[in-house]
Structure 1
């Protein structure tokens, strides 16, 4: 198995609004990519900030996302992604997924952790 990227600090947990999402810009471990970090209490999920439909960012302004209940909505074409697993449930890329990134919470900080591919 090959390691896709090294461990890297993304942000402090308190930098993400509880129940909200933010973008972490220019993540060095991911060759400068933007990362969406979604928070529910102490539960944190992360994805690359790239819509599988057209390869564009999902935010309508840097770090600002359209959120409705359990959905993260692409500001460009309206694709709606389930915030629990990143699956597109409506829109032009229905059935596709956001690229999930492995993260863990350590002492109030959100860390990107190595992700192995088979």
Structure 2
């Protein structure tokens, strides 16, 4: 998903935040809305890499997290839907276990340049 195509979202090339704004192993959440349409995303930092997804479980279309910035299970190896216990691969977003097994989180296109996290 390109954020520039989301109602109320940033334009392509806009800076969302800086890599240093996201604690390693944690995520930062963003919400974009226009009128009735609302989209929530999160950007997970793993060292110098980032992974961005829509904050919506493909099983019930509800947010994955219950605490702000926390999307992984205790070991930090997988995203976890805190409502259903589904586990997702951090790099691909693929559900590996749970009621949505085989489905995927919706990836969000972002990249890092000169320490800035930039929308596409």
- TM-score tier, shorter chain, comes to 0.7 to 0.9
Question: Quick one: which of 39, 47, 51 aligns to 2:57?
Answer: 51
After TM superposition, what 4+ stretches of structure 1 lie above 3 angstroms from structure 2? none
User: Size of the alignment, in residue pairs?
Assistant: 109
Greater strand proportion: 1
Q: Which runs of 5+ in 1 are unaligned?
A: 114-118
Equivalences for residues 16-31 of structure 1 within 5 A: 16-24=22-30, 26-27=31-32
User: What's the offset of the Cα at 1:19?
Assistant: 2.4
TM-score by length of 2: 0.79
TM-score (norm 1): 0.80
The offset of 1:32, in angstroms, is 3.8
Per the alignment, residue 15 of structure 1 pairs with 21
Unaligned ranges ≥5, structure 2: 6-10
- Alignment RMSD, CA only? 2.1
